[in-house]
Amino acid sequence: MFPPKEWKLNNLYNWHLCFRPSSPVLQSQKLEIERLFLCFCSIRTNKYGLNQSATCISYSISIPKIMMAFFICNMAIATIQGGKTHAADLPDYQVGETFIFSNKRVERVEKNEGDLITFSSRKGRQYVRHRNIVLPIIEWQLAGKTGRRTIHGNVDELWPLRVGKSASFRILKNIHDDEKQREVRRVELWHCHVADRENIRVIAGEFSSYRIVCDNYSKHNMRILRRYTWHYASAVGHYIRREVNNFFTGDSYHFELVATLPPGKSNALRVKMLEETLN
């Protein structure tokens, strides 16, 4: 099992020490260096900052360098696989990191205020989510309306994630019509549980993930209205797949992670290039 990210050690003899990469950015450029297990590569970038070409050598490497390479490789794999025996903590988001999904959904971290994280969409619209990613959006503005949810209950009982853990909570949803100066209030009843832990493959790669199922119930007859299934991967620090089933209308859909961009590497041109690979 190879690491789900590109692992490299910078400034080693002016080369990059590489292991088999499954970086979404590299995959989107269809570079053929994933066939190499161990190599020293000098990677050039294009004007967008994306990896464009690589010059690699896999011969004439001295024994000390090989030993160093395998040591780093084992440490990297152990870091990822080590999470399989431990519960997953709440994600820790960094301002600037960006997640791109198969339905062209873009989630970019704009602000981190402890448990409240401000994201922006592909079109720049900002909204606030809880660090507990299975909760609905907390604050948003859309089409002249301002929405806010107030959560009642110990929603953090799910975390650290372990199979079998669950939490029930109630949400008061307020939607204010800025034009008509009218407010609508609704009550939402939710129950979430950690159903399983499984390896799943998405466009971004294969990851060990927790499957978290959240049901939204009717307050009148306690029937399930909607079901949200989240696949959370500790190695990514975010969900990698989301499935939505609307039992009221019979509709369902899902989307999955295509790529992640770290802080300082996310810009409009780079996001656009990754989106174009989905067309």
At residue 261, the pLDDT reads 92
8 Å CB contact between 142 and 127:
no
DSSP for 188-246, written as a single string? EEEEEEEEEEEEEEETTEEEEEEEEEEEEEPTTT--EEEEEEEEEETTTTEEEEEEEEE
Contacts of 131 (CB under 8 A, 6+ apart): 90, 91, 92, 93, 114, 115, 116, 117
At residue 279, the pLDDT reads 62
At residue 70, the pLDDT reads 40
Residues 107 and 46 in one domain: no
Map residue 185 onto helix, strand or coil. Answer: strand
Residues 113 and 174 in one domain: yes
Task: Name beta bridge partners: 244.
Answer: 228, 253
Instruction: Answer yes or no: is 245 within a domain.
Output: yes
Locus of tokens 């009982």: 157
Residues 219 and 120 in one domain: yes
At residue 86, the pLDDT reads 58
Residues 62 and 115 in one domain: no
Domain-ending residue, one of 85, 112, 135: 85
At residue 278, the pLDDT reads 67
The arithmetic mean of pLDDT across residues 182-207, rounded, is 95
The number of folded domains in the chain is 2
The arithmetic mean of pLDDT across residues 67-95, rounded, is 56
Map residue 88 onto helix, strand or coil. Answer: strand
Instruction: Answer yes or no: is 3 within a domain.
Output: no
- Mean pLDDT, the chain, whole residue set: 76
